[in-house]
Structure 1
Amino acid sequence: MDEARQVELFTDTVGGRLSRAACPAATATLLELHHRPGAGVSGLYELSDGTSVRYLVATSEDLPAGSGTPLPGDDVDLVWWEHPADPKLPGLATASVPETVERIWGRGSPLEHLETVTYRPLRRAVLRARLGGETLYLKVLRRDADQLAARHRLLLEAGVPAPPVVGPVTDEVVALATVPGSPLAQALRDSPTLPLPAAAILNLVDAFPVDLLEMSSRHAWTDRIDAYADAAAVAVPAAAARIAATVARIHAVTGAVERGPLAPTHGDLYEANLFVEAGRISGVIDVDGAGPGYLVDDLACFVAHVSVLPTIDEGYAHTAAFADAYLRAFGDELEERGISRAGLLARTAAVVLTLVAGARDETLADWEATALARIRLAEGYAAQAWGLLRVTRPFDE
């Protein structure tokens, strides 16, 4: 069954099937829908019978035999489990039990608070724990938690302000301290002028240590654009032709220009992962993908995320000018390094397209308008890239 139909089922009948299977007296409410292009769909549901609440997850992804519980129904094969028994995140139970968290990471301090910050079924989770007045973030991974801890140590040794690792890596869970300052996202919203110069971001990435080149690599967002474009078309079927045309232009440009040399990169660089204080970068978080990559991809990721901020909240309306300023400054610097501005534009368009499906939120009446606004942004960047390429390398479209 195609993924578009799977998405429909998760917003339509899966909740009722879960109720009948787990607690017939309960009502199921879809809290989050996660569509991973090419892999399947997962949904997080709240089940309430009026006196108690349970959280269940159902997925159409392929899992090893014996994982979870089959969910009856002949339209699509599903498996479900009760949170936190995620089949691919065994450490989620470790990080979700207060007594365990206090014992492993408390260092003698009592646990005062524990909450889930984010949970992507079968992928990762982050929980926030307060122990003895100190806040820690518990990152739950499928694998390679030791390698994540090593990334943090390498960055800190190079003077990059990543969060220090606290305590032992246990059950693929890494505990991290907080970084000073506030998220750049907040500074972008609050400031009428650019709160962080482009040079500060370039200097940050340039400071990433060469030892990161020995780490495992992760595909850049542009490398997965076809799968994300399919997800965008599933979310907004009426725009499928526009999405396909934009992807064709992205491929035409990225296939015609050089990407630059392999370099140490963040892998998911955007405003929520940077913290600022007194006009400087005071912290960089979510370095799970730090490793070999290309500067142009880090910069495109950053510009794309800043450019979609106005689609998230009207308080960011003025940040469209910030995105343009970063794009110009990054393009100038890349050209100084022999890397095409057209490539930056095309890769920015690609990252924006990866954010289209994420706009889908059945609890919001205007989510489709948000998705369409992001499609228009991607079209604009792709058109600029294509036009620039045609000026520098004329040929017929």
Structure 2
Amino acid sequence: MSESRWSPSEAGLEQLWAAAVEAAGGTARGMRTTYLDVQRTGTTVAAEVEVEWPDGRHTTETFGAGTSKRARAALRMSDGVHEIGVWRFPYDPALPGLPAAHDPRRMRALVTRLGLAADDVRLAVRTYRPLRRAVVEVRTARASVFVKVLRPDHVEALHRLHRAAAGSRVPESLGWTDDGLLVLAGLRGRSLRRILLSGDPSELDPAELVEMLRTLPPAFAEHAVRRGWAERARHYADVVAAVVPEAGPAAHAIADAALPSAEPRVPVHGDFYETQLLVSGSSFTGLLDIDTAGAGDRYDDPACLLGHLAVLARVRPDRAAVIDRFASRCLREFDRHWDPYLLRTRVAAVVLSLATGAHRVQAPGWREVLGQRLELAERWCRGEELVAA
């Protein structure tokens, strides 16, 4: 399968999804691209497709396609230049456990083996990143568990990491399967993101976040070595340049300004932002998605949170004042523990990594959004303390 960069047009995708639906026995009646990720190793795209079946039923199905090695086990199609792997959710070729996680009968059997009452099982797909991972919430009358669907070669190590971090704020692992399912216990609390978008975060103390980062489980550092935001900034600049070539020079200038701290590596979460943090009352009670944990640069986690908050304030201008106030309090606290200049250049690298987010989900006006995020990253590079526009 070709790994050259595939930049599909809207018309080309319509033809691709129509052909995929026809191969599945239906007729495509409408489609909307929901995910588009352009990387050096290949392009991955997904869409919601309205399908009419021969028996007259109409359903909405998710289809995915990719050119990378991970898509090789899927149905192969060609646009005349690239060989493309195409699949229908949940039959993702890189996630062999996903069909089981999406099957109520099999999930009922799974939670029953865990000792949970399973008379009424309801499933909800919380996350799906094609060829990468998915999260399915399994609800029973008494409890909820979360089934994380991973590539099979990753699941045992992540199970061991959750077990090694027992007693901290991370979810307990209840077990794993050979086909890539990791079963995690639910945690109490609401996400910080929900509070920022619909509540009042004024009672939350950013000093608690500093303490959380200082006391991350040592097992995180034993799990992997993590390249920091500064080290990966050049890659994200290349992605920006691939999507909008004229934006490449600005993106690469931001990447060049991102400075690693050259300090000893410490345990880091690696993707520390508002969705990963659970809050109960006025305290932070949970830390989710530790897949990215490792030994890394101590500046990366606080910078990740600030960068995401800066972007979130632009995504939700109706809540920008609330988000900005909380982010400003975090910045003031973080400046007491991290070098302000190094921290700001690292925040710029995080914002750069988010620049193509609107393009990835094919949001309207994504080019304008990309330009705004590059401008925001440039302001952080200049040391300005503006968290939101």
Q: TM-score, normalised by structure 1?
A: 0.85
What SS class does the counterpart of residue 332 from structure 1 fall into?
coil
Q: Deviations over 1:90-143 (max 9, x none)?
A: 111121111111111233413431121111111111111112331111101113
Select between 137-146 and 102-111 the one with higher mean Cα deviation. Answer: 102-111
- C-alpha distance in 2 between matches for 1:162 and 1:168: 16
Runs of 4+ with deviation above 6 angstroms: none
CA displacement, residues 266-304 of structure 1 (integer Å, 9 cap, x when unaligned)? 111011100111211111111112221122111111111
SS of residue paired to 1:7: coil
C-alpha contact 1:7 1:41 (8 A) present in aligned 2: yes
Q: Equivalent residue for 2:349?
A: 350
Does the aligned pair in 2 maintain the 1:34–1:120 contact within 8 Å?
no
Given the alignment of the two structures, is residue 328 of structure 1 paired with residue 336 of structure 2, yes or no? no
For the residue of structure 1 that corresponds to 2:312, the secondary structure is: helix
Matched residue of 1:281: which SS? strand
Task: List aligned pairs for 1:51-130, cutoff 5 A.
Answer: 51-53=57-59, 54-63=61-70, 67-106=73-112, 107=115, 108-130=117-139
Aligned amino acid, residue 55 of structure 1: T
Aligned length: 370
Runs (5+) with no aligned partner, structure 2: 385-389
CA change 1:218–1:262 in 2 (3 A) is closer
Of 279, 282, 285 in structure 1, the residue corresponding to residue 285 of structure 2 is: 282
2:186 to 178, 183, 191: 178
Determine the C-alpha separation between the residues in 2 that align with 1:369 and 1:307: 16
Decide whether the 8 Å contact of 2:270 with 2:293 is kept in 1.
Answer: yes
Corresponding letter in the other structure for 2:324: A
Question: Contact 1:111 / 1:129 at 8 angstroms: preserved in 2?
Answer: no
1:373 maps onto 2:372 in alignment: yes
Alignment of 1:1-397 (within 5 A): 6-9=6-9, 11-23=10-22, 25-50=27-52, 51-53=57-59, 54-63=61-70, 67-106=73-112, 107=115, 108-142=117-151, 143-157=153-167, 160-190=168-198, 194-250=202-258, 253-254=259-260, 258-318=261-321, 319-334=323-338, 340-360=339-359, 364-384=363-383
Mapped contact 2:146–2:186 kept (Cα < 8 A): yes
8 Å Cα contact 2:174-2:183 kept in structure 1 = yes
Q: Which moved more, 1:224-233 or 1:85-94?
A: 224-233
Q: CA deviation at 1:32?
A: 1.8
TM-aligned CA deviation for residue 328 of structure 1: 2.9
SS of equivalent residue, structure 2 residue 109: helix
Cα distance in structure 1, aligned partners of 2:349 and 2:39: 15
Asked if the contact 2:36–2:361 (Cα under 8 Å) also holds between the matched residues in 1, the reply is no
Q: Which residue of 1 aligns with 2:387?
A: none
TM-score (norm 2): 0.87
**1:121 partner letter:** P
Percent identity of paired positions between Structure 1 and Structure 2: 27
Q: Distance in 2 between matches of 1:89 and 1:97?
A: 14
Per-residue deviation, 1:378:
0.4
Change (3 A) 1:366 1:333: same
CA contact (8 A) 1:229 1:243 kept: yes
Change (3 A) 1:347 1:12: farther
Tell me the residue number matched to 1:391.
none
Instruction: Tell me if structure 2 keeps the 8 A contact 1:188–1:195.
Output: no
Q: Distance in 2 between matches of 1:353 and 1:382?
A: 11
Q: Go from structure 1 to structure 2 and tell me whether the alpha carbon gap of 1:324 and 1:93 turns closer, same or farther (over 3 Å shift).
A: same
Q: Hey, what does 1:389 align to over in structure 2?
A: none
Q: Distance in 1 between matches of 2:290 and 2:126?
A: 17
Name the CA shift for 1:361/1:42 in 2 (closer, same or farther; >3 Å): closer
Q: Distance in 2 between matches of 1:133 and 1:110?
A: 10
Kept in 2: contact 1:35–1:231 (CA 8 A):
no
Quick check: 1:33–1:41 contact (8 Å CA) kept in 2? no
Are the structure 2 counterparts of residues 2 and 232 from structure 1 closer, same or farther at C-alpha, using a change threshold of 3 Å?
Answer: farther
SS at match of 2:31: strand
CA deviation vs aligned residue, 1:29-60 (integer Å, no higher than 9, x gap): 13422315222221222333332433321112
User: Where does the alignment leave 5 or more consecutive residues of structure 1 unmatched?
Assistant: 335-339, 386-397
Return the alpha-carbon distance in structure 2 between the equivalents of residues 34 and 218 of structure 1.
25
